[in-house]
């Protein structure tokens, strides 16, 4: 192989002859430099792409971490909010239960029910098989399940208390209604029994006469009260009785209150047990201020003493 060198001056020309080793070295130099440069450029480009890809992956991971952290925070806020709401509800239910227990104890005492029949201080019976959890759950789930269990127990307790109160209220109403309509007690608030039921010496002529009621003596103008709730079927003067009030009660009972100074209850009125229906006087066939009290059962007079000593249970 020959290399011809031409000078800037055309009069000089040189020729160089290359052997095989020189040829190989020159080929390596001429071809290797571009290849090496291309390779280095390719590596550089590849490194840039990997760096860009790595940077993108890191950025995506950081974004995912931020999103997950926000989700965790949202979940924690929701859990805290739920727990707060459940705690408030739990406190309200406990307060409600305390009020129900207090009311139940008071009604039980007022109604004079047997001890133990309605025990509001005792925890209602609960039961069931114990089923353990097979796997552990997150703390938040445990807390929710625990609160749910507490709510269920309180709901059961409150339902039990309300059921007892409903029965107690019904019994109390029945007892009150029964007490209201039952003929029992004295027809006066002040005074004493001056004459009993049955045969007696007549105060006007001294002969033995039948006395179909009992007499309660007292001060003129003292209150005369109804011994049971009923309807006023007479409120006027009546021969031998003077001013008299007659009440018609349930179960075939009728009561009479005679020799009054003034009748308070009007004809047709509905009166309650213990209500003032007249004022004590000495009208009609009477020797002094008193009330003549009679009790009729199914149209026949009966001894009022039995009902005067009677108490409603």
Q: Average pLDDT for residues 23-34, to the nearest whole number?
A: 62
For the chain, give the number of residues. Answer: 313
Element (H, E) at 107: helix 20-111
Closest CA to 176 of 126, 219, 228: 228
pTM here?
0.49
Closest CA to 187 of 285, 294, 286: 294
Q: Are 292 and 169 in contact (CB under 8 A)?
A: no
Higher pLDDT, residue 200 or 144: 200
166-191 pLDDT, tens digit per residue, is 666 666 566 666 778 889 999 999 89
Q: How far apart are CA 77 and CA 266, in angstroms?
A: 72
Question: Exposure of 207 by Cβ count < 10 A (0-12 exposed, 13-18 middle, 19+ buried)?
Answer: exposed
Q: What pLDDT shows up at residue 242? A: 95
How many other β-carbons are positioned within 10 Å of the β-carbon of residue 153?
Answer: 14
Q: What pLDDT shows up at residue 141? A: 57
Q: How far apart are CA 104 and CA 165, in angstroms?
A: 6
The three-class DSSP label of residue 182 is coil
Q: How far apart are CA 55 and CA 66, in angstroms?
A: 17
Q: Where are the domains of the chain?
A: 1-122+138-181, 192-308
Q: Which CATH class is domain 192-308?
A: mainly beta
Q: What pLDDT shows up at residue 136? A: 45
Distances (CA, A) of 62 to 49, 55, 59, 311: 20, 11, 5, 86
Q: What pLDDT shows up at residue 39? A: 65
Q: Average pLDDT for residues 106-135, to the nearest whole number?
A: 53
The DSSP symbol for 113 reads P
41-94 pLDDT, tens digit per residue, is 565 555 555 555 555 555 666 666 666 667 666 766 776 677 777 777 777 777
Closest CA to 161 of 118, 126, 127, 128: 118
């Amino acid at each position: 192989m020959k290399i011809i060198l031409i000078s800037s001056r055309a009069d000089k020309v040189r020729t160089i002859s290359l052997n095989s080793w020189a040829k190989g070295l020159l080929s390596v130099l001429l071809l290797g430099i571009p290849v090496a440069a291309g390779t280095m450029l390719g590596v550089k480009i590849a490194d840039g792409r990997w760096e860009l890809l790595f940077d993108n992956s890191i950025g995506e991971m950081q974004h995912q971490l931020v999103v997950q952290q926000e989700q965790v925070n949202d979940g924690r806020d929701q859990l805290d909010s739920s727990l707060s709401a459940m705690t408030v509800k739990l406190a309200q239910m406990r307060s409600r239960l305390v009020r129900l227990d207090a009311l139940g104890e008071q009604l039980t005492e007022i109604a004079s029910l047997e001890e133990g029949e309605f025990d509001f201080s005792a925890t209602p019976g609960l039961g069931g098989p114990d089923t353990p959890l097979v796997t552990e759950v997150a703390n938040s789930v445990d807390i929710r399940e625990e609160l749910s269990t507490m709510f269920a127990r309180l709901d059961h307790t409150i339902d039990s208390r309300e059921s007892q109160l409903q029965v107690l209220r019904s019994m109390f109403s029945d007892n009150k209604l029964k007490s209201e309509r039952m003929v029992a007690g004295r027809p006066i608030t002040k005074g004493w029994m001056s004459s009993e039921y049955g045969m007696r010496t007549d105060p006007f002529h001294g002969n033995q006469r039948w006395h179909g009621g009992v007499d309660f003596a007292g001060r003129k103008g003292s209150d005369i009260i109804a011994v049971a709730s009923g309807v006023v079927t007479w409120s006027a003067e009546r021969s031998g009785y003077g001013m008299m009030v007659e009440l018609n009660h349930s179960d075939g009972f009728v009561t009479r209150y005679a020799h009054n100074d003034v009748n308070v209850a009007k004809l047709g009125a509905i009166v309650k047990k213990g209500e003032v229906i007249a004022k004590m006087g000495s009208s009609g066939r009477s020797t002094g201020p008193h009330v003549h009290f009679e009790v009729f059962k199914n149209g026949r007079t009966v001894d009022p003493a039995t009902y005067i000593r009677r108490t409603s249970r």
